[in-house]
Amino acid sequence: METSANSIPNQAETHWYPLRAFRLKFSEGNSFPAHVEKFNRLSNSRLGTFAPTIVQIASRLGKLKRCTRPLACNYVFLRSTENELRAFIKMFPIYSPLYSLIKDMRAVISIPDRDMNNFIRLAEAYSNELPCYSPSEIDLVKGDKVKIIGGQFSGIVGILQSQKGKNGGRVSVNVANLLAAETLEIAPDYIQILQFAPHSKRIYDALDAFLPRLQKVHEQVKLSGNLTQENRAVLLYFINRYGAVKITEPKIRAKHHILLLAAVALILPAPHDSGSDNNSSFIQKIYAELAEQLPALLDTITNKATLSKLLPLLPPSLLPSNPY
């Protein structure tokens, strides 16, 4: 999660600002939305708000009653300029902005629209049941950085926090290092890995598991001359899920790129239909970029046994005259 704490913001620009709310008791006339509405009316402003709540059962005087409580602990979110923010806090001092130090100056923390919109989308999807935690309660460092590429949360970037089965799971979106909101369970097909967790060895397992599948698909295409829908799905799953992952180790990155190039090369000649591979420009872009890098990739892999498995999967037109 990024905040705009890397530079001093323009005080006339509109941003989302997280605020701490002190001693705020929820009632019809004494709530964050009510305070903002009053400020807008008196100052002729158009401040935006986001203060999700949750309905819980609480015991009062021995009786169970429903009560509304803030979902995000004691945090609320205000969309305004910094000048409007200061005027709002002056009118309602029970709210306090968050600060960071920039070049020895204290600056108000704001939240990028993309991250805030993701959080709002999650809240709307869950209505009043959005799981919400403090970052101290869940570890945002160990998970993979992923992007959701389909379904109701498409486009959201976050940290994979838990897994369902082998590859699915819940994605956690961190909001200004204050909160972490989880999506519903997401199918594996909807998750694209952007970066594996630090010190994770799962990229090795993913590449090793895909190699025999790719060899099988390659052999079937070689014999029949056709790419079946089933085999195309195998290739697209690898491309969509692992195509954008960042790998720092040179030899593993070279192996990943060569497998990706081989998978893309099998898809390109196939006629397109109404399936999920109609993103031909995306496929062609990957092919062009990796084909240009191929000589350097092959030089990086010094293990002849590994090369003997990878080279037969590549189009002969791309191979150097003496690849070994």
The CATH number assigned to the domain holding 149 equals: 2.30.30.30
Co-location of 46 and 153 in the same domain: no
How many domains are contained in the chain?
A: 3
Per the structure, the complete domain to which residue 301 belongs is given by 202-318
Considering the chain, what percentage of its residues have pLDDT values greater than 70?
Answer: 63
pTM of the predicted structure, to 2 decimals = 0.49
User: Within this chain, do residues 221 and 294 fall inside the same structural domain, yes or no?
Assistant: yes
> Is 211 in the same domain as 260?
yes
97: pLDDT strictly greater than 70 = yes
| pLDDT beyond 70 at 248 | yes
- 6 within domain boundaries: no
Q: Among 28-37, 134-143, 181-190, which is the least confidently predicted range?
A: 134-143
119 or 56, higher pLDDT: 119
Distances (CA, A) of 20 to 49, 80, 94, 96: 13, 16, 8, 5
User: Is pLDDT above 90 for 66?
Assistant: no
Specify whether 137 is located in the same domain as 166: yes
Mean pLDDT of 101-105: 70
Q: Which residue intervals of the chain are DSSP H helices? A: 32-43, 82-91, 113-126, 202-224, 229-242, 250-267, 280-300, 304-310
Q: What is the predicted pLDDT for the residue at 221?
A: 92
Is position 249 within any domain?
yes
pLDDT at 130: 44
The pLDDT, as a whole number, for residue 75 is 81
* Per-residue three-class SS string for 219-274: HHHHHHCCCCHHHHHHHHHHHHHHCCCECCCHHHHHHHHHHHHHHHHHHCCCCCCC
Mean of pLDDT values over 41-62: 77
Q: Closest by alpha carbon to 127, among 51, 203, 54? A: 54
Q: Is residue 35 located within the same domain as residue 137?
A: no
Residues 268 and 307 in one domain: yes
When comparing pLDDT for 158 and 68, which is higher? 158
Give pLDDT, residue 137.
38
Strand partners, 1: none
Q: How far apart are CA 226 and CA 243, in angstroms?
A: 23
Same domain? For 104 and 166 the reply is: no
pLDDT at position 324: 52
Q: What is the mean pLDDT of residues 157-165?
A: 66
Contact 152, 137 (CB under 8 A): no
Residue 21 makes CB contacts below 8 A (sequence gap 6+) with 32, 70, 74, 75, 76, 94, 95
Domain assignment of residue 5, yes or no = no
Bigger pLDDT: 276 vs 89: 89
Residues 208 and 285 in one domain: yes
pLDDT > 90 fraction of the chain, expressed in percent and rounded: 22
Residue 157 lies in a domain: yes
pLDDT at 86: 93
